[in-house]
Amino acid sequence: MQGHSKPNFKHLPKGLDIIHEDSAIIVVDKPPGMLTMGTEKEKERTAYFAITDYVRKGYSRSSKRIFIVHRLDRETSGIVIFARTEKDKFHLQENWRETRKTYLAVVHGRCQKPSGTITSYLAENRAHYVYSTEDREEGRLSHTAYRVLKEAKDFSLLEVDLLTGRKHQIRVHLAGIGNPILGDRKYGKENDGYKRMALHALSISFKHPVSGEELFIKTKVPEYFDRLVGGMNGS
């Protein structure tokens, strides 16, 4: 299902695309390098700031607001959902476990298995580094399913289903099986030569907060991934 109205693109920064819009939600394709929401150091170059400006049509004193439903890491590209009302935000968040999220990842090497589910308890230390642990009191049980779509000489393209939504989950789990994501400076190979992290939130399936209709929204495969593994957009 696609959005019905025509976005006013002059209020959107380069690389941020609206892929669905209706009276309750706005779904965007976020570029890599952009925060979902602001921090103390960066408040304006964020998807939240840009979409707020979009709904206000550039008029900063407008009372119109949007609400963040979920987030992506700064270096991860792809689908982010915003709600137009707090009620719709809470409805989506309360039913988030029923939401299915699929990612694409290009990883170093070849996976030992063509598909599988990675399971571990994930914990975070004081330096905000997430790691796997066997201690169920220390970490939160996390599941990541993957399937190999394509193999190149030195790396593989994976389709990843995020079965639980923990911080940095995909990045930590793939690194843990010996297949870190290209360009992941935190959990991947140090100085691997890839400036962009090859992780993209490709699609999402969820029930609309007002109509209850099941929505399936999908983005395009980034050209960057096509260059890495070849033939994605043409296959």
Residue 29 annotated in active site: no
The pair of structure tokens assigned to 133 is 């642990």
DSSP letters of the chain? ---SS---GGGS-TT-EEEEE-SSEEEEEEPTT-BSS--SS-SSSBHHHHHHHHHTTT-TT-----EE-----TT-EEEEEEESSHHHHHHHHHTGGG-EEEEEEEEES--SSSEEEEEEEEEE-TTS-EEEES-TTTSEEEEEEEEEEEE-SSEEEEEEEESS--TTHHHHHHHHTT-PBTT-TTTS-TT-S-SS--EEEEEEEEE-TTT--EEEEEPPPPHHHHHHHS-TTT-
Tracing tokens 């998807």 back to the chain, one arrives at 47
Sorted by sequence, the CB contacts under 8 Å of residue 97 that are 6+ apart come out as none
Catalytic residue among 17, 22, 53, 73: 73
The alpha-carbon radius of gyration of the chain (Å, integer) is 18
The token duo for 80 is: 């982010």
The catalytic residue positions are: 73
